[in-house]
Amino acid sequence: MSQPEIPTPPWLDVAGYPFRRTVHDIAGHRIHTVDHGDGPTLLLLHGNPTWSYAWRGVVARLGHRFRCVAPDLPGFGLSQAPAGFDGRPASIATVLEGLVERLDLRDVVLVAQDWGGPVGLRVAQRVPHRFRGLALGNTWAWPVTGDRHFERFSALVGGPVGQALARRANLVVRVMVPLGHRLRRPSATEMRQYRSVLATPERRAATSGLAREITGSSAFLAEVEQGLPALRHLPALLLWADRDIAFRGAELERWQRELPGATVVPLPGAGHLLQSDAPAAFADALAAWHGATLSARDPR
């Protein structure tokens, strides 16, 4: 089967994003994927409203010793979803499971942030034989209905007003990407990458849609929560930014209860997009943990 054409739009920051890229047809989706480097496999999953570009600093630092696989979620980045795709987390997880199977990924460490967490964990629960570790940064994996902090955000950004502003003005990107950085300010080039991949009202709708699903996909999140005990045997790393406007100390404490053996590495001063805000600290912590926890027990 021939490889679909890899999109390289004129606005793409090739110098800042110089990685090997592939495109895979998965159940009617064209999933654009960074597949860069050689070595143990890291599956890097982004959240809302970003794409694999958010991982560029981590991939640049780790590609010499790891295979970094960073897909764009359906409808985000350079991935294309078919007409009628509902964009819900359960459906995204199904597509990503298909990608993991298509690439025949093995001995994978899931590296996930924001929506990449519950979506990636659901994939790991469905094909557990393919995963050997978890590295989670500022994410969650349980229903948050009843928590006003999350309910307010979901209602505001995912409601009618938020949907209109997302479609007309790309507001989720314009507001959330800068707010996700606390240690530094995203450059004009960076912001152009995030705006340009969501250039039409139809594509921008996915950003408010995932905000709505914070409460709208409670059933899916409950399934992920119920599956967490089955993953507790996997070595786990919790990378945590303490200036996140979304995930707080309460969520970190919950993770420490869910994954009691996890290594915790704080990233002081970093914001929600910790992999982009503090890429060196993120990559260094991930490499050190992998070397001490996984590579040390693997004679290969």
Catalytic residues: 114, 244, 272
At 136, which helix (H) or strand (E)? strand 131-137
Backbone angle region of 167, left / alpha / beta, with phi > 0 → left and psi within -120 to 50 → alpha: alpha
Q: In this structure, are residues 88 and 220 in contact, taking their beta carbons and an 8 Å threshold?
A: yes
Helices marked H in 186-242 — which ranges? 188-196, 201-216, 218-227
Q: In this structure, are residues 33 and 96 in contact, taking their beta carbons and an 8 Å threshold?
A: no
Q: In this structure, are residues 60 and 36 in contact, taking their beta carbons and an 8 Å threshold?
A: no
Q: In this structure, are residues 134 and 124 in contact, taking their beta carbons and an 8 Å threshold?
A: yes
| 3-state DSSP assignment of residue 25 | strand
- φ, ψ of residue 82 to 5 degrees: the values are -70, 160
Q: In this structure, are residues 171 and 159 in contact, taking their beta carbons and an 8 Å threshold?
A: no
Q: What is the rounded CA–CA span in Å between residue 89 and residue 130?
A: 20
Task: Output the six-digit token pair for 210.
Answer: 């995932």
Q: What is the rounded CA–CA span in Å between residue 274 and residue 26?
A: 29
First to last CA, the chain: 32
Q: What is the rounded CA–CA span in Å between residue 288 and residue 296?
A: 11
Q: In this structure, are residues 38 and 59 in contact, taking their beta carbons and an 8 Å threshold?
A: no
Q: In this structure, are residues 87 and 210 in contact, taking their beta carbons and an 8 Å threshold?
A: yes
